[in-house]
Chains A and B, each alone.
Chain A
């Protein structure tokens, strides 16, 4: 008898079927992964096991739970009125958002103690709360802290301690590491793995990230648009995926290096950064002298036409601040930028208009990249403000060319952004970036927010465009595998400084800086 299983679980909201006939079982002590893209229904699967489905959800099917004795639950009965004593006791759950999953007004020790008071009042002592905190690699004396005094990774550990407090036999983790940076993510995944085996718990781990699932689970279920397409033990699925959807996921998890193209030799770099510095000042009271944090500290580097330079580093290392200064969106407190014969930066002045039209940017989130109240047509015309010498017809032509270049049809241009999918929007964002035919394109995590299965297409598109136009790319990403596949050289940034810099193969194969080693160790490869 397995610990928990779902039999023909289906869920719909009104007319919309979101899960169809899911069959899934979790054996005692087994670690099961559930992989799927956003909207595939994986979170609802977990919530049904917790009897926490939204009130408007209509479920059917059977849930079997076997904690000491076998219980059969008719899924149509799920809801607030169904007695469900397992939640927080035999089943513990960790959620995705570490920033909002804890009550901001309550000390974390009290939040853990609340679980104990409910399920194990005999253990509700300061000493035991301290033990739980130590089990998740926090200090016992942190119990007096409020959530805002902890980092994202620490909060996620508190969430884990809360889930463990009821001594569950089954732990459900819903994307527990997706909001964390790479290094913290790795730490939390290793921690969950260690605790699950030490406590002999069953684990249901839900993620969009095949790498994370592979690192943690011995069985994998693959969910696509509410249907299970494949399941089996991890090794088989990863080595020998049967379904096309799974094959695409596996392929996307290990991006392949694009063929190099020849570039004309050039001596002068297109972009030369010299000692660029960005500081943030903040003061609490007007009589205090401000606290100065240096986000970017004396950074210098060069970039040639047709070249792709990777920029990696842990979150908060300053890579976004650096790229914004290069793009002219932020002003520097020191240093300057030499770009294509123009110079701007500290003491030199803001970015000149002539340079502005040669630098474009593609942002991470395709959904906030476009004004929802502006037709695509007008959004793509906007950069051409910088080229007042063009006639309206010429501008129109430029837009059409750019849209065709990114593989979309020009008759969609009359629509508003909401009519496009995430992948299409990112293509349009690239189209907007190339309508000026810039010499430098800054790509800030251009594929991180996209579903795994379409990342490869967008990367291929970027590669083709570079080959055709010879643009230089400054490619920012937290995903080292992507960086390795698409860049020529890479810079590693930490605490505002470039700590390592070189050919991507050299840096990744023979890392020198401590942070590079940590980042490489944190990679979740399959």
Chain B
């Protein structure tokens, strides 16, 4: 187990290093002169030189890459040229919105999707199964941001239960911050829940056909008892893998849904930075996003290892 952990952690570190190098290459090296890229073609030489000095662009690329990497550990990612604030601070501030949104959606979609998937599998071939899977079919096809727009019309504009958009920082008014995130979380979670319900159903139906379920029934368990006691845990294994992959899309989803609710999250930070050609903000924010995805996938693998005693057999891969 310890060996497995070390091997996977090294893999995560390597992935992040390569991802950082790739992002650095694309955004810092490929544009040629980042200073000119940021200031535009008409910038004066003085302005360019000033910016180069300010950002340390007069140093060779690998030194700058090293400095950036070091900054990721020390928390000093430099200053944003456009927003005149430390980049690390900007990202952290936005994360207090984006992270609860992504994780809230993950939890909510799991709480809705898995039980419904199990319910459908138990009623396989019956009307309840068909109904649930029909709903899931629709849920999967709904664009989350479009669903978000509908939610705003119904719950914010018509019923006035919840705010239509905007965000108050947690420190100022936790209740208001929470209320601001309810609709975005639901908008993200429901389509995800539809996917999870489908995956869970398929997996459980697959497991239900396996020999050990028949063995369990031969012991005297009823069909549902056998499914609950022996089926669900086995069926969860492939579902966990899918959940790990889906997290990447929840992250992507937060960026899109932020737009509907005018939320100042990581997405907004990135888009403002792109318009201002503030490459340093973009590269750090992107790496944070990639890092989140990689870490979640690692945690899923870890969870898998804890649940499945066969891990020792499939080690190394």
State the A residues within 8 Å of B (CB): 50, 52, 80, 85, 87-89, 92-93, 95, 97, 100-106, 114-115, 118-119, 146, 148, 159, 162-163, 166, 283-286, 288
Please, how many angstroms separate the alpha-carbon atoms of A444 and B220 in the complex? 41
Query: Nearest-CB distance from B9 to chain A (Å)?
Result: 12
- Shortest beta-carbon contacts, A-B, top 7: A88-B220, A100-B211, A88-B219, A284-B315, A93-B218, A146-B309, A101-B211
Contact of A148 with B313 in the complex, beta carbons under 8 Å: yes
Residues of B within 8 A of A166 (CB): 219-220
Q: How far does the alpha carbon of A89 sit from the alpha carbon of B230 in the complex, in Å? A: 19
Q: Is B307 interfacial (CB 8 A cutoff)?
A: yes
Minimum distance in angstroms from A142 CB to a CB of chain B: 14
Q: A115-B220, A284-B315 are in contact. Are A104 and B7 (CB under 8 A)?
A: no
Inter-chain contact B211/A97, CB cutoff 8 Å: yes
A288, B3: Cα distance in complex, Å:
10
Task: State the CA gap A341–B309 with chains docked (Å).
Answer: 52
Residues 194-227 of chain B, each 1 if its beta carbon lies under 8 Å from chain A, else 0? 0000000000000000111011111111110000
Chain B residues whose C-beta falls within 8 Å of the C-beta of A80 in the assembled complex: 222-223
Q: Closest B-chain residue to A105, C-beta based?
A: B233
Q: Does B246 contact A (CB under 8 A)?
A: no
**Interface pair A105/B234, CB less than 8 Å apart:** yes
- Write out the residue numbers on chain B whose beta carbons fall within 8 Å of the beta carbon of A284: 3, 315-316
Complex CA gap A101/B230 in Å reads 12
Contact A119 B316 (CB under 8 A): no
Q: Is the CB of A104 within 8 A of B221?
A: no
Contact of A100 among B212, B219, B313 (CB under 8 A): B212
B316 engages A104 (CB within 8 Å): no
A95 to B215, Cβ gap below 8 A? yes
Q: Give the residue of B3, B211, B221 whose beta carbon is less than 8 angstroms from that of A285.
A: B3
**Contact at B221–A118, with CB atoms within 8 Å?**
yes
A105, A106, A114, A285: the one within 8 Å of B219 (CB): A114
B219 CB contacts on chain A under 8 angstroms: 87-88, 114-115, 118, 162, 166
| Bound-complex Cα distance A80 to B217 (A) | 11
CB distance from B91 to the nearest CB of A (A): 34
Q: Scoring B residues 272 to 312 as 1 if CB is less than 8 Å from chain A, else 0, what string do you get?
A: 00000000000000000000000000000000000111100
**Contact indicator A159/B313 (Cβ below 8 Å):** no
* Main SS at interface, chain A: loop
Q: Does B160 contact A (CB under 8 A)?
A: no
Q: How far is the CA of A104 from the CA of B307 in the complex (A)?
A: 11
For A105, A148, A162, the residue with the greatest tally of chain B CB atoms inside 10 Å of its CB is A105
Given contact pairs A104-B234, A105-B308, A286-B316, enumerate 13 new A-B contacts (beta carbons under 8 Å): A50-B218, A52-B217, A52-B218, A85-B220, A95-B218, A101-B211, A105-B234, A105-B307, A118-B220, A119-B220, A163-B218, A166-B219, A283-B316
Contact between A285 and B316 (Cβ–Cβ < 8 Å)? Answer: yes
Task: Please tell me which one of the listed residues B3, B212, B220, B229 contacts residue A104 in the complex, with CB atoms under 8 A apart.
Answer: B212
9 of the cross-chain contacts (CB-CB < 8 Å) are A100-B210, A101-B215, A102-B215, A103-B212, A114-B219, A114-B221, A118-B220, A148-B309, A283-B316
| Pick from A85, A88, A283, A286: contact of B218, CB under 8 Å | A88
On whether the beta carbons of B217 and A95 are closer than 8 Å, the reply is no
Closest to A97 in B: B211
| Chain B min CB distance to A80 (Å) | 6
Name the interface residues of B136-184: CB closer than 8 Å to any CB of A. none
Q: In the bound complex, what is the Cα–Cα distance between A80 and B126 (angstroms)?
A: 15
* A96 CA to B3 CA, complexed, in Å: 36
B307 partner residues in chain A, CB cutoff 8 A: 105
Interchain CA distance A97-B210 in the complex, whole Å: 10
CB distance from B81 to the nearest CB of A (A): 42
Interchain nearest-CB distance for B199 vs A (Å): 19
CB of B30 within 8 A of chain A?
Answer: no
A51–B233 Cα gap in the complex (Å)? 26
